[in-house]
Amino acid sequence: MICNVPTMLTWLRILLIPIFVGAFYWPENLRTLGEMPSHQVNVFATAVFIIAALTDWLDGYLARYLKQTSSFGAFLDPVADKLMVAAALIVLVEFDRVGAIVSLIIIGREIAISALREWMAGEGQRSSVGVAMIGKVKTAVQMLAIVLLLYWNDIDLGALGIFKTKDVGHVLIVVAAFLTLLSMAYYLRAAMPKMKQK
């Protein structure tokens, strides 16, 4: 079903992508390309990204709770996730907040595993490469890293000191890239028996 509640939330997530990306390039906010975005732009983009990320959890929950799962929703949901992550990483590369190699690892893995899952589904073996715990951990670390790198500015915690969001974000995105490779190896290993038959 294309127009049930969970699927509409997935469409909303896709529609939020140009909004959070556009915040960095809006003439009044951004000035000339190459300058560092203002704190207000960072906060707005981060907030929109968080809302988009929350719809990812919410649409899955509602699909199960309302019993509105559909093959179209199952197709669209990961597409929306990958578009959101890829868009964020491209913006972060543009503003020199994350390295191109790290972004290529993460985006490349998403494309490769999506293709693998589609192929395995065609072979009737999609469950063999279903979402594993390492994939969930990778996603959690990756999303937190992106949020911190979008926000960028340090947070003054008063007596607790200064929370260096950019430093923590840099560490987490490298950890996410490592987990990305690890999870890709896990899924490839799971698919290997079927691959050897071809």
Mapping DSSP onto H, E and C, the string for 137-163 reads: HHHHHHHHHHHHHHHCCCEECHHHCEE
Strands 155-156 and 162-163, by their bridges, are antiparallel
For the chain, 198 residues long, give each residue's pLDDT as a single digit of tens. Answer: 567 888 888 899 999 999 988 888 876 555 444 556 778 889 999 999 999 999 888 887 787 777 777 777 777 888 899 999 999 999 999 999 999 999 999 999 989 888 887 777 776 666 666 677 888 899 999 999 999 999 988 876 666 667 889 999 999 999 999 999 998 888 888 777 776 676
Q: How many CB atoms lie within 10 A of CB 109?
A: 18
Q: Residue 83 to residues 61, 125, 131, 182: CA-CA distances in angstroms?
A: 20, 25, 18, 21
Q: 68 has which bridge partners?
A: none
Q: Which domains does the chain have, with CATH numbers?
A: 1-96 (1.20.120.1760), 99-198 (no CATH)
Q: How far apart are CA 113 and CA 119, in angstroms?
A: 10
Q: Can you give the C-alpha Rg of the chain in angstroms?
A: 18
* 3-class SS of residue 164: coil
**Res 92: pLDDT:** 95
**For 76, which DSSP code?**
H
Q: How far apart are CA 81 and CA 41, in angstroms?
A: 22
